[in-house]
Chain A
Amino acid sequence: MDEQEGHTDAISMTPASDTTFDPVELLATMGRDFADSRDIDKTLRLALVRITDYLRAESGALFLLDDSSKTLTCTACTGATDIEGLVLASNQGIVGRCVQTNRGELVRDVELDADFFRGVDRRTGFTTRSIICAPMSVRAERIGAIELVNKKGKDFRFSTSDLRLLETMSSSAALAILNAHLAEALLEQERVRRELELAAEIQRSLLPEAQDETFPIHGINIPAGAISGDFYDYFTLPDGRIYFNLGDVSGKGMNAALLMAKTSSIFRCLGKATPRPGRLLARINTEIHETATRGMFVTMVGGIYDPASGEVVLANAGHQPPVLQGEDGQFTSFEAETPPLGIQPFTRADGDIPEVKLNLDGGTLYVFSDGITEGYRPDGTMLHVEGLLDMLRDSADLPAAKRLTAVTDLLAGGGRPLRDDVTLLAIDDRLNANARSNTARSNTSRLKAEAKPDAPTTEAQNADTADYSLLAVLTVPARADRLRLIRHAVSMATIDCGLSETAAGDLILAVDEACQNIIRHAYGGDTSEKIVATVSREGDNIVVLLRDFAPTVDTERIRPRDLSNLRPGGLGTHFIRECLDDVRFLPSPPGGGNLLRLEKKIR
Chain B
Amino acid sequence: MEHTVKIEPEGIVVSLSGDVDLQSSPEVRKILLETVEHKRPVIIDLSGVGYIDSSGIASLVEALQRSRKNGIDLVLASISDAALRVLQLARLDKVFRVYPTLGDALAGFR
Contacts and interface: CB of A to CB of B under 8 A. Distances in A.
A575 B87 CA distance: 10
Contacts of A506: 85, 89
A563 B55 contact: no
Interface residues of A, number: 27
A448 to B, nearest CB: 36
A563 B91 contact: yes
A571 B91 CA distance: 10
A575 B22 contact: no
A569 B62 CA distance: 9
Nearest to B29: A568
Contacts of A566: 61, 65, 92, 95
B86 interface: yes
A152 interface: no
B90 A513 contact: no
Contact of B58 (A483, A509, A569): A569
A271 interface: no
Interface in B34-65: 51, 53-55, 57-59, 61-62, 65
A306 to B, nearest CB: 26
Contact of A571 (B21, B22, B58): B58
Contact of A568 (B21, B61, B81, B85): B61
Nearest to A563: B91
B85 A571 contact: no
B10 interface: no
A252 interface: no
Nearest to B21: A483
Given A484-B23, A519-B22, A512 B61 contact: no
Contacts of B22: 480, 483, 512, 516, 519-520
A568 B59 CA distance: 7
A480 B21 contact: yes
B5 to A, nearest CB: 21
A578 interface: yes
Contacts of A516: 22, 53-55
Contacts of B62: 568
Given A566-B95, A568-B58, A568-B61, A575 B21 contact: no
A487 interface: yes
Contact of B90 (A483, A484, A563): A563
Contacts of B82: 505
Interface string A544-580: 0000000000000000000100111101101100110
Contacts of B19: 484, 487
Contacts of A484: 19, 21, 23
Nearest to B50: A505
A205 interface: no
21 contacts: A483-B21, A487-B19, A487-B51, A502-B85, A505-B82, A505-B85, A509-B53, A512-B21, A516-B22, A516-B54, A563-B90, A568-B59, A569-B58, A571-B54, A571-B57, A572-B55, A574-B89, A574-B90, A575-B53, A575-B54, A578-B89
Given A480-B22, A569-B58, 5 more contacts: A487-B19, A508-B51, A519-B22, A566-B61, A575-B53
Q: Which 7 A-B pairs have the closest CB atoms?
A: A568-B58, A571-B54, A480-B23, A480-B22, A572-B54, A568-B61, A568-B62
